[in-house]
Amino acid sequence: MQWHHYFGGFWAGMFLANFVPHFIKGIAGDAFPTPFAKPPGKGLSTPLVNVVWALFNLVVGYLLFRFGKVSVDDSLSILICFIGFACMSIFGAVNFVHKHKA
């Protein structure tokens, strides 16, 4: 595999991880920050906006997963995708800890 496949796999993990909290909050009917809130990433968006944003992240993550040729046959591609997933998960945990104080 070429370097850009691994790069795509890393970003696939990031987008797939970002799908999770927005989808969960959206289908639960809870407001949650999105880039479309005021202020962006700090204010709370409606559940519908969160579901739409989550589905966008899922589609982009899937396309990047395919582009990155992430495969169980290539342990490095799985590891890099997981690292992207872990980075976004940690970023979300740190960034959204004070979401109710916006």
**Annotated domain spans of the chain:** 3-101
Cβ-proximal residues to 90 (8 Å cutoff; 6+ apart), any chain? none
Please tell me which residue, 41 or 89, carries the higher pLDDT value: 89
Q: Are 102 and 43 in contact (CB under 8 A)?
A: yes
Residue 100 has pLDDT above 80, yes or no: no
Q: Are 86 and 51 in contact (CB under 8 A)?
A: no
pLDDT, tens only, 44-96: 999 999 999 999 999 999 999 999 999 999 999 999 999 999 999 999 999 88
Place of tokens 């962006």: 40
Instruction: Output the pLDDT for position 99.
Output: 66
